[in-house]
Amino acid sequence: MRRRRLPRPRLLPFALLPLAVLLAGCGGSSAARGAGGAESGVDGKGSVTLNVGDQKGGSEALLRAAGELDDLPYRIKWSTFTSGPPLLEAVNAQAVDIGSVGNTPPVFAAAANSKIKVVAGSHSSSAGEVILVRKDSPLSRPEDLKGKSVAVSQGSSAHYQLVATLKKAGLSIKDVTLNYLQPADALAAFSRGRVDAWAIWDPYTAQALAQTDARVLATGEGVVNGLGFQVAAPAALADKEKSAALKDYIDRVRRAQDWVHGHPDAWAKVWARETGLPEDVTREAVRRSRGTAVSVAVDPAAVASEQRIADTFAELRLIPRRVDFSSFVDTRFNGGLPPSSTAPRTYGSTYGKAG
């Protein structure tokens, strides 16, 4: 497998602000921003404070838009991270009690033997997990990626989607040149023709399709599991009061996701305001994938699916050891949740079918 890092390109003007914002499921190693920042909760409403890791335009924005931060019986202290891996580093360090990430960061954290527990799941459409090429590219199918250069964020959900797509096409990761780039740099490299393809997720998919000369070569549908997770610190789960607060918080996230299904336009507007992305971009990302999530149990099927991801990365020696993913799962909050195979929501005449 060939890997190379491209010289850091000058970012395109439209990419400067929005693509500095990395959303759930991202890879990378950036530190927390705003730790010890905003708090939610009302004076006198209990002595428990949940430390929640978030990403820009993520859980706090969603819960606030849905009215789920009203009348909290505990406080929430929010810490904002640029991506999933550093959020899980904070969970491991007990600086954060819980946070939401995509399907791949927990695998890398487990391989590092981090102190984490996956406690809740969500299932979204994988239509926004794509491999992009330029419209004038001669590449027409995944098999054509052999010998080509692909930009991808290391340890991200897109990383696994690329691996799985290549495998389905009869190729391996050794058949391409990987360029490990975060989304802002990857967009600039892709737009300037410095890479042949780009593995990425919504809302960057929506932004690239709207603002660059890009087209979709392949999507993650039928290739990746579409799962995301709430990941908690074992110490918080062991604390009776915090465990109760975690259960309440997870319930609020579930209700907020349900709110999005009935108010996609409202959420797209809030998301645009929170991230700096154009509203047409967030609307398309909500329609296709980011508004399709349903809360699901972390059941044996979900664990088995994550184990396959872990095994794949271990075989490729992209993580340092094999892991038993089930040992990083706590199922106490599964009660009443549908199975992980539950289909994501789709939108009708207003938005078209998701995916």
32-124+227-328 architecture in CATH?
Answer: 3-Layer(aba) Sandwich (3.40)
Q: Is the pLDDT of residue 353 over 60?
A: no
Per the CB < 8 A criterion, the answer to whether 155 and 27 are in contact is: yes
Per the CB < 8 A criterion, the answer to whether 274 and 57 are in contact is: yes
Q: List the CATH code of the domain at 2-21+126-219.
A: 3.40.190.10
Q: Is the pLDDT of residue 21 over 90?
A: no
Q: Is the pLDDT of residue 246 over 80?
A: yes
pLDDT at position 306: 98
What is the C-alpha separation between 203 and 209, in angstroms, rounded? 10
Tell me if domain 2-21+126-219 and domain 32-124+227-328 are identical in fold: yes
pLDDT at position 254: 96
Q: Is the pLDDT of residue 42 over 60?
A: no
pLDDT at position 109: 96
Q: Is the pLDDT of residue 12 over 80?
A: no
Amino acid 214 reads A
pLDDT at position 329: 98
What is the C-alpha separation between 193 and 168, in angstroms, rounded? 26
Lowest-confidence pick of 30-44, 106-120, 328-342: 30-44
Q: Is the pLDDT of residue 20 over 60?
A: no
Amino acid 260 reads V
Lowest-confidence pick of 28-42, 170-184, 213-227, 290-304: 28-42
pLDDT band at residue 134 using 50, 70 and 90 as cut-offs = very high
Parse the chain into domains and list their residue ranges. 2-21+126-219, 32-124+227-328
Strand partners for 150: 178, 197
What is the C-alpha separation between 31 and 51, in angstroms, rounded? 16
pLDDT at position 66: 96
Q: Is the pLDDT of residue 203 over 70?
A: yes
Amino acid 309 reads I
What is the C-alpha separation between 287 and 271, in angstroms, rounded? 13
Each residue's pLDDT tens digit, 116-127: 999 999 999 999
pLDDT at position 40: 63
The percentage of the chain sitting over the pLDDT mark of 90, rounded to a whole number, equals 75
Lowest-confidence pick of 4-13, 133-142, 256-265, 316-325: 4-13
What is the C-alpha separation between 15 and 203, in angstroms, rounded? 12
pLDDT at position 3: 52
β-sheet with 130-134: strand ranges across: 2-3, 177-180, 149-152, 197-200, 130-134, 214-219
Q: Is the pLDDT of residue 349 over 90?
A: no
Each residue's pLDDT tens digit, 29-40: 333 444 445 666
